[in-house]
Amino acid sequence: MDLSDLVLLFKVQTLIEQKDFEGANEVVDDLLKQNPDNASIIFAKALCLDAMGDFEASLEMAEKARSIDVDVVPDDFYNAIVFKANNAVKQTPKKSEKSKIPSILKSGENLIERGEFNKAKLFFDRARGIQDDNMEALVCQAYCFDSLGKKTHAHELVDDIDRFEIDPKFLRYYDELMGIDADDACYDHISLKEVTDLCDDGFGYLKDYKIKDAKACFNKALKLDDKDVNPVVGNAYCLYHLGYYVLAFKECKKAINMDIESIDRDFYRKVKSKASEVK
């Protein structure tokens, strides 16, 4: 590989890192028109297709490049793209199966409403057969076991489930299983004006990415009123942005215990994922 080839690959990789996939693709396509049999350019095309998620086409280009010059395509890239291409093919039917889960759950719910728990459980078994970690199917499955008198098994299924991760439409099954009165969980705390002002300032600092200033505001607010959920939420965001994912997750849990609707669900899942990586 000569210097011009290295410059080309560097330019394409830079555009890909900047997520300018179309720009990278245009550069490569223009060069391919001029040099259709240049192994380095063909490999650059493979890089573009890989970045855009078209793994089968990327593999095709990588193999074409290797047939011209086997040393152009690094073994690590080739092995990775072979795996991605094969895995993408295997996952295709799974994706179409997953799209059936909502209707399967609905059929199971209809049977629950009619008190036919044995039949309903079969639908939730089927949903979990497609996606074992589907929270809604798991909760409904446990609900059926509970209704059929198998209470110990039902609770074993849901003991480790996080209520906040369940679709709100299915919470009634979980709450009934766990003996939770949703009305009792209603947050009706009235914020002090000083606390509200400090939290407004804190969230303003967060938007400007002034994390330490934001955290100072939320800490002051908590000293004024540790029963107010807003500074707890603010602290969770601050800790997340500072990279303290486990502490951020603890703050999220604390906020949820105070008010189930206080934390954005997508943010919660993001924090939980990061915290689990640390552990």
Mean pLDDT of the chain: 84
Please report the pLDDT score of residue 68 as a whole number. Answer: 85
pLDDT of 2 higher than 80 = no
**Residue 154 pLDDT:** 86
Identify the pLDDT of residue 97: 75
Is the pLDDT score of 109 beyond 80?
A: yes
pLDDT band at 5 (very low <50, low <70, confident <90, very high): low
**pLDDT number for residue 166:** 82
- For residue range 136-169, what is the model confidence (pLDDT) as tens digits? 999 999 999 999 999 888 888 887 777 777 888 8
pLDDT of residue 71: 83
Please spell the DSSP secondary structure of the chain, one letter per residue.
--HHHHHHHHHHHHHHHTT-HHHHHHHHHHHHHH-TT-HHHHHHHHHHHHHTT-HHHHHHHHHHHHHH-TTTS-HHHHHHHHHHHHHHHHHHHHHHHHTTHHHHHHHHHHHHHTT-HHHHHHHHHHHHHH-TT-HHHHHHHHHHHHHTT-HHHHHHHHTT--GGGS-GGGHHHHHHHHT--GGGG---PPPPHHHHHHHHHHHHHHHTT-HHHHHHHHHHHHHH-TT-HHHHHHHHHHHHHTT-HHHHHHHHHHHHHH-TTSS-HHHHHHHHHHHHHH-
pLDDT (0 to 100) of residue 56: 86
Q: Is the pLDDT of residue 220 over 90?
A: yes
Percent of the chain clearing pLDDT 70 (strictly above):
90
